[in-house]
């Protein structure tokens, strides 16, 4: 019985909190880019502070326990390099679509952030896709 009463109280608190969030009118920016508006801001904080935070921006571990850790500054730098390859070497532009078929590697995340940075639409695929699956994604996405 005590749990039932507490549960009822908790439910009313959750509903009140939801209502308060629902009534909030937040100003949303006209343009938002996760790579520049979030990642680069954290990268700048790392530079100003002069030290790496306790937690990396990116932490990847494979099945063998090998790790890759990148600070915000490193992730920003690497994703800008990847973005340059996409736009300069590959000639892709904002709104273009690219299909990436990669295994579970950290570079997949670099490509993801690079696409966000440039406005290129990423269509992800795993290395388990068949030729038929890839063809379907190409046709459906108009890549």
pLDDT at position 3? 47
pLDDT tens, position by position, 39-80: 898 888 888 877 666 788 999 999 999 999 999 999 999 999
pLDDT at position 1? 45
Enumerate residues 6+ apart whose C-beta is below 8 A from 21. none
How many helices and strands (H and E) does the chain possess? 6, 4
Enumerate residues 6+ apart whose C-beta is below 8 A from 116. 33, 34, 35, 122
**121 strand-pairing partners:** 97
pLDDT at position 21? 63
Structure-derived torsion over alpha carbons of residues 136, 137, 138, 143, reported in degrees to the nearest 10: 150
Residue extents of the structural domains in the chain: 29-141
| Two structure tokens written together for 72 | 């915000």
Q: Is domain 29-141 in CATH 3.40.50.980, yes or no? A: yes
pLDDT at position 26? 65
Q: What is the pTM of this model?
A: 0.74
Q: Predicted confidence band at 87 (pLDDT cuts at 50, 70, 90)? A: very high
Distance CA 114, CA 120 (A): 8
């Amino acid at each position: 019985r005590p749990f039932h009463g507490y549960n009822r109280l908790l439910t009313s608190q959750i509903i009140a909190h939801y209502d308060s969030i629902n009534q909030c009118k937040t100003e949303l920016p006209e343009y938002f880019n996760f790579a520049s508006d979030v990642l680069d801001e954290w990268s700048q904080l790392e530079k100003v502070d002069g030290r790496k935070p306790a937690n990396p921006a990116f932490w990847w571990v494979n099945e063998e326990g090998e790790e890759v850790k990148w600070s915000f500054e490193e992730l920003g730098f690497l994703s800008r390099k990847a973005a340059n390859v996409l736009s300069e070497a590959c000639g892709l532009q904002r709104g273009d679509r690219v299909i990436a078929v990669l295994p579970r590697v950290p570079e997949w995340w670099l490509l993801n952030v690079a696409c966000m940075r440039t406005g290129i639409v990423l269509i992800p695929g795993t290395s388990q896709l068949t030729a038929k699956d890839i063809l379907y994604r190409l046709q459906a996405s108009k890549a």
